Structure 1
């Protein structure tokens, strides 16, 4: 468990009034995300795949034909960064842009067969990673955790 001075930031630390950070939700979420994501990001790097490629291809695997704005929001990047990532992915043959037939100023991004093959392989690895990370939790705990996180995200997006 990570240490701060001589005090551990973990399950026992949450009961301590002495550690603000041990019970501060933004820190707990960021720390958990950093630990979980870092493990999978190591897997991606070992395969020569960037985190940005993974995020956008995984996003498109769930909802092909998205605008740059939609991809930016879901992929957790700003629009200029997302556009640059899409440019690289398009050059690599992993995605393609198609103009909206009704509004030529609007384009949609689609995953190609090559992109789909890459992401399908990665989705299996991501699911296996999630299973390893959550193996000590009951299915009910995982349903609750994910429901609470989705609700938190939805409420925060509504407030934005």
Structure 2
């Protein structure tokens, strides 16, 4: 037995989780189109952005910033290192700690990819102020979800 309004609007209308899920899928497709010309995946892009903001982060700091576990982040960093975009070094004060820094090529690419956010915004067709409001709302949602998972 199917409700006619449910069929017309879709079975997931009003499901915030589904809206976030489908938006994430669409973002991934759009970022792939934009990042392909730089030879980057979205997670690699995020690492470069994080290091451009503050170079020399530890692997654990990068993991916290990107919400990635080390078993996902370490191979990602190794691929960036193999591509000549980052360098890994042991911390001089604590040999157990690995710091990640942009190489010269990585620094140049990090500057080149500054064009990505405006391109994404333009492709979406939503003004910058509205996108900022949406990001703030989603950040609040994410924080609430993280708190709920910890409790």
Residues of 2 paired with 1:61 and 1:155: CA distance?
28
Do the aligned partners of 1:40 and 1:126 also contact (CA within 8 Å) in 2? no
Do the aligned partners of 1:96 and 1:110 also contact (CA within 8 Å) in 2? yes
Among 29, 35, 45, the residue aligned to 1:38: 29
Do the aligned partners of 1:57 and 1:115 also contact (CA within 8 Å) in 2? yes
Give aligned pairs, total.
Answer: 144
SS of residue matched to 2:57? coil
- Residues 75-95 of structure 1, C-alpha deviation per residue, up to 9 Å, x if partnerless? 343212211111121122211
Residues of 2 paired with 1:81 and 1:46: CA distance?
24
* Worse-superposed segment, 85-94 or 62-71: 62-71
The structure with the greater share of residues assigned to helix is: 2
Q: Give the alignment's TM-score, normalised by structure 1.
A: 0.74
Any gaps of 5 or more consecutive residues in structure 1?
A: 10-18
Residues of 1 paired with 2:117 and 2:128: CA distance?
19
Q: Equivalent residues in 2 for 1:16-31 (5 A)?
A: 19=11, 21-31=12-22
SS of residue matched to 2:87? strand
Residues of 2 paired with 1:30 and 1:102: CA distance?
42
2:3 match = none
Structure with more contact order per residue of length (Cα contacts < 8 Å, sep ≥ 6): 2
Do the aligned partners of 2:31 and 2:42 also contact (CA within 8 Å) in 1? no
How many angstroms does 1:115 deviate by? 0.6
Residues of 2 paired with 1:121 and 1:46: CA distance?
11
How many angstroms does 1:28 deviate by? 0.7
SS of residue matched to 1:105? coil
2:54 match = 63
1:77 aligns with 2:68: yes
